[in-house]
Amino acid sequence: MAITTLSSREFNQDVSKAKRATKDGPVFITDRGKPTHVLLSVEEYRKITHQRRNIADALAMPEGAAIDFEPPRANIATRPADF
């Protein structure tokens, strides 16, 4: 796995180059010589985070799924106002 390092200026001037470089490994983006960001391919990101699906899929309910929800009945007693 190759690690590519680009300055912020290089990244801004050629984003396509940075995206292509992610095929070989992570791309470190520096600001004034210090690494500030890392660009990864989606596949690499999923490997690192062990993510198999996107958030929409994770939150989606299967078709026909029913949720049994019976909230307790609220008993609100009224009292006369004390003026």
Tens digits of residue pLDDT in 1-12: 789 999 999 999
- Reading the block at residue 2, the tokens are 């190759």
What is the structure's pLDDT at 29? 96
36: exposed, middle or buried (Cβ count in 10 Å: 0-12, 13-18, 19+): exposed
Residue 50, pLDDT above cutoff 90: no
More confident residue, 51 or 79: 79
What is the structure's pLDDT at 38? 95
More confident residue, 60 or 48: 48
More confident residue, 66 or 18: 18
Architecture field, domain 4-57: 3-Layer(aba) Sandwich (3.40)
CA distance 18 to 16: 5
What is the structure's pLDDT at 52? 65
Task: Output 68-76 pairs: Cβ under 8 A, ≥24 positions apart.
Answer: none
